[in-house]
Structure 1
Amino acid sequence: MTMMKAKKVLMLAGDFAEDYETMVPFQALEMVGIHVDVVCPGKKAGDKIKTAIHDFLGDQTYCEKEGHQFVLNASFDEIDMSQYDGLYLTGGRAPEYIRLDSKVIEITKYFMKNKKPVAAICHGPQILTAANVVSGLTLTAYPAVGPDITVAGGIFKSVDADKAVVCENLATSPAWPGNTAILKEFIKLLEK
């Protein structure tokens, strides 16, 4: 993989974003020379969000444990969408409520309309469906988000948790085991 120059990604997160789906992409993208600004509605650079660690321990659904304190490195109210080459939507519980923020929807529509690379993992596609930008696109997500994709006119594709699905400018994966796959695909989209 070649080191990339002058690429900049905006990551949308919030309290109880999935820990691995926030920390790993942030660190991996930075490692290959892609600057990542992580923002959260209502917060500014230096503020923290709590992450959550999700795992399966034999219950009908995943359990949630407190993760790390992630320090935001940019202020939500000060971002200029035109300064970014791509958008990364974290998973966890954060997408469920940050999608209620009109600026989050505006940001998502901007990147999708302009065919800039977008990555969404796990519950991240909830933001895409709220922005009404998945019609006709094939994507994956955590299985419980599949019906949302279908209702929004998208085509839900069930894949193993360590896989990614790419459709046009969008890369998606069902969960944090897919970090490697989604990051590979997202970086390819950024290189185009």
Structure 2
Amino acid sequence: MAKKVLMLAGDFTEDYETMVPFQAMEMLGYQVDVVCPDKKAGDIIRTAIHDFEGEQTYSEKRGHNFALTADFDAVNTADYAGLFITGGRSPEYLRLTPRVIEIVQEFFAANKPVAAICHGPQILTAANVLKGKKATAYPAVGPDITLAGGEYVAVDASEAVVDGNLVTAPAWPGDSAITREFIKLMGAKWEL
């Protein structure tokens, strides 16, 4: 039986930060259950494409539709080997859902691997799980990490930061790094 990964996403999640890790983990044989509060398997979330085009912050364009693969209300964290939190705009409102916070806290209490990219650490700060942890994020989320008692680490957008069971990355150029480190935390081994 394939290891299961829970992925939290919502409307206007960043397209690449959802699609790329989802497809990479599925390709490797993981079952990735993508859920969103108040939605069921087969429901659609809209994504946004963020790009770095020289302005003071990222630009945003409409992305693809993404069909959720599982029911949020049926989530039992004991069934999953790890949690992946997508970025984009969805973390700012997903963190307002009490069950989202409980899910994150349950993964940390069980010391299971957790990945969060871009704005995903906003959910971690709301769940109060970053005390004493090193983490990265989109730079605008750095102050949130610090205020939550974590240590914000500024790295290149293509890199990831690992601290214990937590792996974080600043943006979609780090999809390969965060996914690679996340599956290592779940016990994946491979040789090239």
TM bucket, shorter chain: over 0.9
Distance 1:105 1:159 in 2: 26
Amino acid in the other structure paired with 1:183 = T
Q: TM-score, normalised by structure 1?
A: 0.96
Gaps of 5+ in 2: none
The superposition leaves residues 146-176 of structure 1 with CA deviations (integer Å, 9 ceiling, x where unpaired) of 0000000000000000000000000000000
- Displacement of 1:79 in angstroms is 1.3
Aligned partner (choices 29, 46, 50) of residue 46 of structure 2: 50
Distance 1:186 1:57 in 2: 28
Which consecutive aligned stretches of 4+ in structure 1 deviate over 3 angstroms post-superposition?
none
Distance 2:131 2:155 in 1: 19
- Displacement of 1:61 in angstroms is 1.0
Aligned partner (choices 67, 72, 80) of residue 71 of structure 1: 67
Distance 1:21 1:63 in 2: 15
The superposition leaves residues 102-158 of structure 1 with CA deviations (integer Å, 9 ceiling, x where unpaired) of 000000000011110000000000000000000000010000000000000000000
Aligned partner (choices 107, 112, 115) of residue 111 of structure 1: 107
Q: TM-score, normalised by structure 2?
A: 0.96
Distance 1:99 1:92 in 2: 13
Aligned residue in 2 for 1:14: 10
1:102 aligns with 2:98: yes
Distance 1:101 1:186 in 2: 25
Aligned residue in 2 for 1:160: 156
What are the residue-to-residue correspondences of 1:83-162 with 2, within 5 Å? 83-162=79-158
1:38 aligns with 2:34: yes
1:184 aligns with 2:177: no
Secondary structure, in 3 states, of the residue corresponding to 1:104?
Answer: helix
The superposition leaves residues 58-83 of structure 1 with CA deviations (integer Å, 9 ceiling, x where unpaired) of 22111110000000010101111110
Aligned partner (choices 166, 169, 187) of residue 173 of structure 1: 169
Amino acid in the other structure paired with 1:49 = I
Measured on the aligned residues, the alpha-carbon RMSD in Å equals: 0.9
Distance 1:167 1:43 in 2: 32
Gaps of 5+ in 1: none
Distance 2:181 2:91 in 1: 21
Amino acid in the other structure paired with 1:105 = I
The superposition leaves residues 23-70 of structure 1 with CA deviations (integer Å, 9 ceiling, x where unpaired) of 000000000011100000010011000000001222211111000000
How many residues align? The count is 188
